[in-house]
Structure 1
Amino acid sequence: MTASDLTDAPLTAGPAFLALPDLASRALAGAVVHADDEFFAEKENLLLPGAPIFDPTLFGHKGKIYDGWETRRRRTPGEDSATVRLGVPGVVRGVVVDTAFFRGNYPPEVALDGAWVEGYPDAAELAAAPWRPLVPPSPAQGDALNTYEVADEAPVTHVRLRMIPDGGIARLRVHGLPTPDPRFLAGTVDLAAAENGGRIVDCSDLFYSSPANIIGPGRSRNMGEGWENARRRDNGNDHVTVALAGAGTVDHVEIDTSYYVGNAPGSASLRGIRSAEDLDRPEAWIELVPRTRLQPDCRHRYLVEPGAEPVQFVRVDVFPDGGIARLRVNGRLTAEALDALAARIPRA
């Protein structure tokens, strides 16, 4: 695998963009802020975590209850839409429109628009926003994961999902490259955090749960909210590589094994590297935290020796396997990295 393959390769089967974070995730504070119609099922269901569920016996006063967003049957020309504020602004690379369990009531076509709107606009201000197409009107299948790649290179803060003309959609996932506001990244921040622009670019094993969990916000609440691999039966070890928000100097690191009691790693280490071109060169990696013993169900914190050069990628190795709940890489972005982030932000 080459360095370019590593930074673009999907961690699961399907389109490459599925490896990128879901910018609309509720875990990152994404929200559905407006819908033209939600007669049968609430708009908020679009961003619920996890797969949709279906109970064939469940009915309410308005009819069948679906785990998704469903509008009434349209009797006039037009279409229905829902507007989502992304949890983290970013460049959208692909969209998943999940119509699970919507078989006779799914929209035959869907579309997605995007806009960059500063601040915290209300519904009227969003309606007047400079929307542009990210996914043009495209065919959709019922009871299916409909995926659409996006070629637009400009970041957005909001997306507008359009059903043409009406129907039901279970879930919306908006995968892309985070573009956080660098004004909030000055000083010491968690360079690996997804909400600050960090993302997973490689993982040796994700049998039980996704490595994306370790850079999520907050503390994990159970073992299912971290990264856990399968039990190793060879002489290797498991690892995860994270692209940081930008190049930065690391001050201190947290490796949290909370809730991993009988399945925590025996030890771990953390290394860093400056550029993607060197990802395949083991000799180019620098040591940030040497291999050290870990305790089960414990929040480990390590100071990094001052004077280390800036890094843009870090790799945590666990020996030989085992789960970790969170990885925090606290440090400061370089002036060049902050300038590069600022250059990506649209300004009026």
Structure 2
Amino acid sequence: MSDAPDLTNLVDLAAARFGGTVVAVNDEFFAFAERMLLPEPPIVRPGVFTERGQWTDGWETRRRRDLPGSDWAIIRLGSPGIAHAVTVDTTHFTGNAPGAVEVHGATLPGYPSAAEVAEESVAWVPLVPRTPIVPDAANVLPVADQGRTRITHLRLTIHPDGGVARLRVHGTVVPDPRMFDRVTSDLAAAYLGGVVVAASDMHYGDRHNLNASGEARAMGEGWETRRRRGDGHDWAVVRLATQGTIVRAEVDTRHFRGNAPRAVALWAADNPDLLDPDDVTAITEWYPMLPRTR
């Protein structure tokens, strides 16, 4: 039985498209830390050099040699929440990956500056203890139970130096409840805590693309099923960020020119007390919200 955490319905709290950003870093001599938060898989460009050396798709620090300490980067999460696992992806870093990493989280009010988040007075909570990692691999590291608390910032420490291609913070969004107070919000949005918990098929596109932030840049950033040859229809179920009254629904089919659905219908359910909020089979009553519409 695998000890790997289940990442199925977790979102990347640090994703750049959610607004995740690097607010402080002690060294980025070879490559900028912001690249760790990009959504695309890391690539390699053999033979491409910059004024700082070989081009690398990720964050890379200089060699510390005999200097004491380790390198670090502090990220403001795009959405505050509870982290369940962290992926430190060292793809293409074959001879210059860190020997080990360490991850901490903190809850900080407002928008503190780089100097403020780097102060020693910040109360950092350990999420992942110092752990050896593998070069040229996606290292999935579970968060310790004591680290399962709401955080707004994350500090990645690499021992002693090296490169990280991508950083993913898999968790559940815990937004400030004041965001829903007397305003119209997108209750399905992932950055507010909405999760696409199930779908009939994901042959060509991940269901979690349905409620991702921003506009899709191409068809591949949407949800697409295989062509159905039997009876029935394809479907997806979204657990909303919070209970609410729906006043408008938007179904965006841009980029789907020859494969958009012929029609859509929307159904709703109100089951806030489910023991497992992701178990759609436990929902016994649905009521129509939007009839079949072309």
TM-score, normalised relative to structure 1: 0.77
Q: Which deviations, in whole Å up to 9, do the C-alpha atoms of 1:205-264 show, x marking residues without a partner?
A: 222222222212333333222211222222232221111111222222111212211101
**Equivalent residue for 2:118, pick from 127, 130, 139:** 127
1:143 aligns with 2:144: no
Aligned to 2:54: 64
Question: Counterparts in 2 of 1:97-136, with a 5 A limit?
Answer: 97-128=88-119, 129-136=122-129
Q: Contact 1:39–1:70 at 8 Å: present in 2 too? A: yes
In structure 2, how many angstroms separate the alpha carbons of the residues matched to 1:133 and 1:86?
Answer: 16
In structure 2, how many angstroms separate the alpha carbons of the residues matched to 1:256 and 1:103?
Answer: 41
Aligned to 1:314: none
Aligned to 1:315: none
Per-residue deviation at 1:282? 6.0
Per-residue deviation at 1:47? 0.6
Residue aligned with 1:284, SS: coil
Q: Which deviations, in whole Å up to 9, do the C-alpha atoms of 1:254-305 show, x marking residues without a partner?
A: 1121221110112221112222357315641222112222xxxxxxxxxxxx
Aligned to 1:223: 219
Residue aligned with 1:95, SS: strand
Structure 1 unaligned regions, length at least 5:
1-13, 294-348
Moved more, 210-219 or 53-62: 210-219
Structure 2 unaligned regions, length at least 5:
none
Q: Which deviations, in whole Å up to 9, do the C-alpha atoms of 1:280-334 show, x marking residues without a partner?
A: 15641222112222xxxxxxxxxxxxxxxxxxxxxxxxxxxxxxxxxxxxxxxxx
Moved more, 217-226 or 264-273: 217-226
**Equivalent residue for 2:168, pick from 158, 165, 173:** 173
Moved more, 221-230 or 145-154: 221-230
Amino acid at match of 1:290: P
Q: Contact 1:19–1:201 at 8 Å: present in 2 too? A: yes
Percent identity, aligned pairs only? 47
* Aligned positions, number: 280
Residue aligned with 2:223, SS: coil
In structure 1, how many angstroms separate the alpha carbons of the residues matched to 2:282 and 2:164?
Answer: 45
Moved more, 244-253 or 42-51: 244-253
Amino acid at match of 1:185: F
**Equivalent residue for 1:248, pick from 244, 254, 261:** 244
In structure 2, how many angstroms separate the alpha carbons of the residues matched to 1:235 and 1:228?
Answer: 18
1:84 aligns with 2:75: yes
Question: Counterparts in 2 of 1:199-214, with a 5 A limit?
Answer: 199-214=195-210
In structure 1, how many angstroms separate the alpha carbons of the residues matched to 2:114 and 2:39?
Answer: 24
What's the Cα RMSD here? 1.6
Question: Counterparts in 2 of 1:294-313, with a 5 A limit?
Answer: none
Moved more, 128-137 or 226-235: 226-235
Moved more, 22-31 or 278-287: 278-287
Aligned to 1:28: 18
Q: Which has the higher helix share?
A: 1
Amino acid at match of 2:185: V
In structure 2, how many angstroms separate the alpha carbons of the residues matched to 1:147 and 1:18?
Answer: 13
Q: Contact 1:20–1:200 at 8 Å: present in 2 too? A: no
Question: Counterparts in 2 of 1:248-327, with a 5 A limit?
Answer: 248-275=244-271, 276=274, 279-281=280-282, 283-293=284-294
Q: Contact 1:111–1:136 at 8 Å: present in 2 too? A: yes
Moved more, 209-218 or 132-141: 209-218
Amino acid at match of 2:67: T
Q: Which deviations, in whole Å up to 9, do the C-alpha atoms of 1:86-137 show, x marking residues without a partner?
A: 0010000111110001111111111110000010101121123211111111
Amino acid at match of 2:83: V
Q: Contact 1:18–1:175 at 8 Å: present in 2 too? A: no
Residue aligned with 2:208, SS: helix
Per-residue deviation at 1:80? 0.5
In structure 1, how many angstroms separate the alpha carbons of the residues matched to 2:62 and 2:8?
Answer: 31
In structure 2, how many angstroms separate the alpha carbons of the residues matched to 1:69 and 1:180?
Answer: 28
Residue aligned with 1:280, SS: helix
In structure 1, how many angstroms separate the alpha carbons of the residues matched to 2:59 and 2:291?
Answer: 49
In structure 1, how many angstroms separate the alpha carbons of the residues matched to 2:284 and 2:158?
Answer: 52
